[in-house]
Structure 1
Amino acid sequence: MALFSVRTLGFPEIRRDHRLCRLPLRKGLALLVYLAEASGSVGRDVLATMLWPEGSNEVVRARLRRLLHRLQQALGDDILTMDRSAVRWSTAITLQVDSQLFEQACDRGEFERACRQYSGDFLDGFSPGDCPQFDEWAFFRREALRGRVMQALERAVHASNAAGDYAAAAAHAGLLIELDPFSEVYGRHLVRNLLLAGERATAQRHLEALTQRLHDELNVAPGPEIRALLDVGATLHIEDLPSTRYVSSGGIHLAFQTHGAGGIDILLLPGFVSHVERVWEQPQCRAFLSSVAAMGRLLLLDRRGVGLSDRVGFAPDVDATAQDIGTVLDAAGSRRLVLLGASEGGPACIKFAVDHPNRVAGLILFASLAKGTATHDYPHALESSQYDTWLQQLVAGWGGPAGIETFGPSLAGDPQARAWWAGLLRAASSPGAIKAVLMALRDTDVRHLLGRVSVPTLVLHRHDDCAVRIGAGRHLASHIPRARFVELDGADHWPFAGDQQPVLDGIRQFVGSLSG
Structure 2
Amino acid sequence: MMRRGVPKQDIFFVTAKDGARIACASSGRGPTIVRAAHWLTHISRDLDSPVWQHWLAELTGFGRLVRYDLRGCGLSSRNISEISFEAWLSDLEAVTEAIDEPFTLIGMSQGAALSIAYALRHPDKVERLVLIGGYARGLLARDTSDRARLEAATLTNLMRLGWGRDDTAFNQVFTHLFIPDGTLAQHKWWRSLEQDTASADIAARTMETLHRIDVLNLAAQLKVPTLVLHANGDARVPFAQGRELAMTIPDAKFVPLDSNNHVLLDTEPAWNVLLSSLQDFLGTSADLAVSDTDFGLTTAEEQVLTLVAKGLSNSEIAELLDKSEKTVRNQVSSLFDKVGVHTRSELIVRVLSAQTGQTP
The normalised TM-score by structure 1 is: 0.50
Against the structure 1 CA distance between its residues 410 and 257, is the aligned structure 2 distance closer, same or farther, given a 3 Å change threshold?
Answer: same
Paired residue type of 1:439: E
- Describe the SS at the equivalent of 2:97: helix
- Describe the SS at the equivalent of 2:55: helix
Match of 2:148 in 1: 383
Paired residue type of 2:250: P
Shift of the alpha carbon at 1:296? 1.1
- State yes or no: 1:338 paired with 2:104: yes
Against the structure 1 CA distance between its residues 316 and 330, is the aligned structure 2 distance closer, same or farther, given a 3 Å change threshold?
Answer: same
Question: For the Cα contact (< 8 Å) 1:338–1:364, is it kept in 2?
Answer: yes
Match of 2:214 in 1: 445
The counterpart of 1:428, out of the listed 197, 200, 209, is 197
- State yes or no: 1:474 paired with 2:240: no
Give the gaps of 5 or more residues in structure 1: 1-223, 226-238
Measured in 2, the distance between the counterparts of 1:408 and 1:310 equals: 27
Question: For the Cα contact (< 8 Å) 1:391–1:435, is it kept in 2?
Answer: yes
Shift of the alpha carbon at 1:397? 3.2
The counterpart of 2:276, out of the listed 505, 508, 512, is 505
Matches within 5 A, 1:290-305: 290-305=57-72
Shift of the alpha carbon at 1:509? 1.6
Please give the per-residue CA displacement for 1:59-95, whole angstroms capped at 9, x wherever unaligned. Answer: xxxxxxxxxxxxxxxxxxxxxxxxxxxxxxxxxxxxx
Match of 1:364 in 2: 130
Shift of the alpha carbon at 1:472? 0.4
- Describe the SS at the equivalent of 1:383: helix
Measured in 2, the distance between the counterparts of 1:334 and 1:257 equals: 17
- Describe the SS at the equivalent of 1:505: helix
The counterpart of 1:410, out of the listed 169, 181, 190, is 181
Question: For the Cα contact (< 8 Å) 2:106–2:129, is it kept in 1?
Answer: yes
- Describe the SS at the equivalent of 1:410: coil
The counterpart of 1:289, out of the listed 34, 56, 77, is 56
Measured in 1, the distance between the counterparts of 2:175 and 2:192 equals: 12
Please give the per-residue CA displacement for 1:24-73, whole angstroms capped at 9, x wherever unaligned. Answer: xxxxxxxxxxxxxxxxxxxxxxxxxxxxxxxxxxxxxxxxxxxxxxxxxx
- Describe the SS at the equivalent of 1:364: strand
Matches within 5 A, 1:7-22: none
Shift of the alpha carbon at 1:335? 2.2
The counterpart of 1:258, out of the listed 26, 37, 43, is 26
Matches within 5 A, 1:26-37: none
Measured in 2, the distance between the counterparts of 1:315 and 1:490 equals: 35
Shift of the alpha carbon at 1:272? 3.3
Please give the per-residue CA displacement for 1:176-219, whole angstroms capped at 9, x wherever unaligned. Answer: xxxxxxxxxxxxxxxxxxxxxxxxxxxxxxxxxxxxxxxxxxxx
Against the structure 1 CA distance between its residues 260 and 478, is the aligned structure 2 distance closer, same or farther, given a 3 Å change threshold?
Answer: same
Measured in 2, the distance between the counterparts of 1:396 and 1:507 equals: 39
Please give the per-residue CA displacement for 1:374-396, whole angstroms capped at 9, x wherever unaligned. Answer: 56x669xx822212223333444
Paired residues in the alignment total 274
Question: For the Cα contact (< 8 Å) 1:452–1:480, is it kept in 2?
Answer: yes
Runs of 4+ aligned residues of structure 1 deviating over 4 Å after TM superposition are 513-516
Measured in 1, the distance between the counterparts of 2:285 and 2:65 equals: 16
Against the structure 1 CA distance between its residues 249 and 341, is the aligned structure 2 distance closer, same or farther, given a 3 Å change threshold?
Answer: same
- Describe the SS at the equivalent of 1:299: strand
Paired residue type of 2:156: L
- State yes or no: 1:397 paired with 2:166: no
Give the gaps of 5 or more residues in structure 2: 287-351, 353-360
Shift of the alpha carbon at 1:292? 0.8
Matches within 5 A, 1:98-247: 241-247=8-14
Question: For the Cα contact (< 8 Å) 1:460–1:488, is it kept in 2?
Answer: yes
Against the structure 1 CA distance between its residues 395 and 272, is the aligned structure 2 distance closer, same or farther, given a 3 Å change threshold?
Answer: farther
Measured in 1, the distance between the counterparts of 2:15 and 2:64 equals: 22
Matches within 5 A, 1:53-92: none
Shift of the alpha carbon at 1:245? 0.8
Shift of the alpha carbon at 1:423? 2.4
Q: Which has the larger radius of gyration?
A: 1
Match of 2:323 in 1: none
Paired residue type of 1:252: A
Question: For the Cα contact (< 8 Å) 1:456–1:483, is it kept in 2?
Answer: yes
Shift of the alpha carbon at 1:498? 5.3
- Describe the SS at the equivalent of 2:119: helix
Against the structure 1 CA distance between its residues 241 and 496, is the aligned structure 2 distance closer, same or farther, given a 3 Å change threshold?
Answer: farther
- Describe the SS at the equivalent of 2:251: coil
The counterpart of 1:324, out of the listed 86, 91, 108, is 91
Question: For the Cα contact (< 8 Å) 2:140–2:211, is it kept in 1?
Answer: no
Against the structure 1 CA distance between its residues 269 and 348, is the aligned structure 2 distance closer, same or farther, given a 3 Å change threshold?
Answer: same
Measured in 2, the distance between the counterparts of 1:408 and 1:491 equals: 8
Match of 2:357 in 1: none
Measured in 1, the distance between the counterparts of 2:140 and 2:20 equals: 33
Tell me how large the CA RMSD over aligned residues is: 2.7
- Describe the SS at the equivalent of 2:221: coil
Measured in 2, the distance between the counterparts of 1:309 and 1:409 equals: 28
Shift of the alpha carbon at 1:398? 1.9
Against the structure 1 CA distance between its residues 360 and 479, is the aligned structure 2 distance closer, same or farther, given a 3 Å change threshold?
Answer: same
